[in-house]
Amino acid sequence: MAVILGITSFDGSARAQAQPEAAPAPTGEDPPIAEPAAEPASPPADASAAPAPSAEAAAPALQGAAVTVPAPPAPPAAEEPWKKPISVAAWARVGGRLQNPGAREKMDRLLGDGELDLSFSGEINRFIRLQGAIVAQFGPTPTGGNIAGSATLRDVIAKFQLHDLLNVWVGRMIVPSDRSAFSGPWSMGPWNYPGFFEPYAPPIGPKQGPLGRNDGVTAWGKVAGGLFKYYVGAFNLHDSSVSPLYTARLNLSLLDPEPAYYQKSTYLGEKSILALGVAGEVQKEGSVESLPPPAPDTPPGVPRKDTYMEINADLLFEKNLDTAGTLTLEGAFYKYLGDFERFDHSYFALASYLTPNNIGVGKLQPLVRLQQAKLKNADPYLLIDAQMGYIIEGHAARVALGYQRSDLSGVKGNALFLGVQLQK
């Protein structure tokens, strides 16, 4: 089951908002009070005939009256960057899977997993922002072990927002590869992230890194408020022993714009979306030969290498049909190039429907997704998910219950899964 707790301030990414200026603090002294001037005598009945008083005659009436001119208020002190508010978010997912890892067709073992993300973001000034996050996880491992509980740095980003056309992010961040990477499991309809043909093993898809992150730099920009966006990045910059991974992505939204760096795989009817994205990756000597374990007392062999390339395209259509509910259609295709890549291509196709009205405290979202990955030297992998979602507060509170059928080159499997996600 997956639970997302969120304490978050968003802009599509979370941004701290400037606080109103505080009123000047009082000095502790009351201002001097002027004595009232003497009340003038009543005018004669014929005011027009009465002579105007001379300046000398009026002067005694003003003597003794203190005239106080208020001092102009002091300008407010400039707010120091470190005193500006910081936005904090806590997200959690808790899930359960009914499946036997050793005999995947049997659903006689219950496997639990969970994740807690703590993220922080703030604004130094109008051009510079920062973002950081820590993630803690527990659950099974691909080899049958268990992650008792581990925490690691997920994000640390310095953001230089120079113009709509040019933003530069430096640090550990999401690799701009496909829509699913930007969305993550938090902002998509399916409970399971695409590409997880083997549960708890790394997903099949573009090269990224742990949790979809990598260390590098990304330049990105938007036109017309986000109707068109571009991303260009270089990653693996923490490891001088390997070549950099270069990435690029273009995204065109033909209906509502998507202004933020991050994109969702479903807006749950809040936007009308028809968006097409294309992306690619290249890494010199990034396609590496897989060698069998060396024999005892034998040094390991040296693997051969080739240039790695990956090209992908994704399409998202989502339309709120008012009283008829919200329809979502999504698809993506990935092509892998390199002599030593295990897969030739992969793809997924998804359809979901969100009811227009609440049933109880939330809306129902039935969903079906088909995934396939074609191996170069074996039969393909196949996954089919059938899921019923219960959307209580958008992505901030939802529940998913589903069934998954798998066929991994003839090794078939069945699984039931349940997840809970909460954000605040």
Compute the distance between CA of residue 276 and CA of residue 92 in angstroms, rounded to an integer. Answer: 30
67 within 8 A of 34, measured Cβ to Cβ: yes
Q: What mean pLDDT do residues 370-392 have?
A: 97
Examine residue 240 and state whether it is found in any structural domain, yes or no: yes
pTM: 0.80
The model's pLDDT over 261-273, given as tens digits with 9 standing for 90+, comes to 999 999 999 999 9
The model's pLDDT over 225-238, given as tens digits with 9 standing for 90+, comes to 999 999 999 999 98
Examine residue 54 and state whether it is found in any structural domain, yes or no: no
Beta strand ranges found along 236-293 (DSSP E):
245-253, 273-288
The model's pLDDT over 38-87, given as tens digits with 9 standing for 90+, comes to 444 444 444 444 444 554 444 444 454 555 666 677 666 656 665 678 99
Locate 370 and state its tokens: 């088909």
- Residues in CB range of 369: below 8 A, 6 or more apart: 190, 194, 348, 349, 350, 351, 383, 384, 385, 387
Examine residue 29 and state whether it is found in any structural domain, yes or no: no
Assess whether pLDDT exceeds 50 at residue 8.
Answer: no
Owner of token pair 């997880």? 196
CA atoms within 13 A on the CB side of 381: 21
Assess whether pLDDT exceeds 90 at residue 12.
Answer: no
Examine residue 26 and state whether it is found in any structural domain, yes or no: no
13 within 8 A of 131, measured Cβ to Cβ: yes
State the amino acid at position 258 in one-letter form.
E
pLDDT band at 144 (very low <50, low <70, confident <90, very high): low
Owner of token pair 């009340």? 39
Write the DSSP symbol of residue 4: -
Compute the distance between CA of residue 134 and CA of residue 90 in angstroms, rounded to an integer. Answer: 10
Compute the distance between CA of residue 48 and CA of residue 26 in angstroms, rounded to an integer. Answer: 48
Structural domain that includes position 128: 82-289+304-422
Assess whether pLDDT exceeds 90 at residue 403.
Answer: yes
Look over the chain and give the mean of its residue pLDDT values, rounded to a whole number.
85
Assess whether pLDDT exceeds 70 at residue 346.
Answer: yes
- Residues in CB range of 18: below 8 A, 6 or more apart: 84, 123
Compute the distance between CA of residue 376 and CA of residue 304 in angstroms, rounded to an integer. Answer: 17
Assess whether pLDDT exceeds 90 at residue 185.
Answer: yes
pLDDT of residue 149: 76
Compute the distance between CA of residue 406 and CA of residue 418 in angstroms, rounded to an integer. Answer: 17
Residue 317's CATH number = 2.40.160.10
Examine residue 194 and state whether it is found in any structural domain, yes or no: yes
| 303 vs 1, higher pLDDT | 303
pLDDT band at 274 (very low <50, low <70, confident <90, very high): very high
State the amino acid at position 139 in one-letter form.
G
pLDDT band at 147 (very low <50, low <70, confident <90, very high): confident
Examine residue 71 and state whether it is found in any structural domain, yes or no: no
Write the DSSP symbol of residue 58: H
Examine residue 51 and state whether it is found in any structural domain, yes or no: no
Total structural domains in the chain? 1
State the amino acid at position 389 in one-letter form.
G
User: How many CB atoms are closer than 10 A to CB 65?
Assistant: 11
Q: In angstroms, what CA-CA distances link 21 with 9, 38, 345, 382?
A: 20, 42, 56, 58
pLDDT of residue 4: 39
Helix (H) or strand (E) holding 181: helix 179-183
Examine residue 57 and state whether it is found in any structural domain, yes or no: no
Where helices occur in 2-110 by DSSP H, the ranges are 55-62
Q: What mean pLDDT do residues 316-330 have?
A: 97
- 305 bridge partner residues: 288
State the amino acid at position 304 in one-letter form.
R
pLDDT of residue 102: 86
pLDDT of residue 270: 95
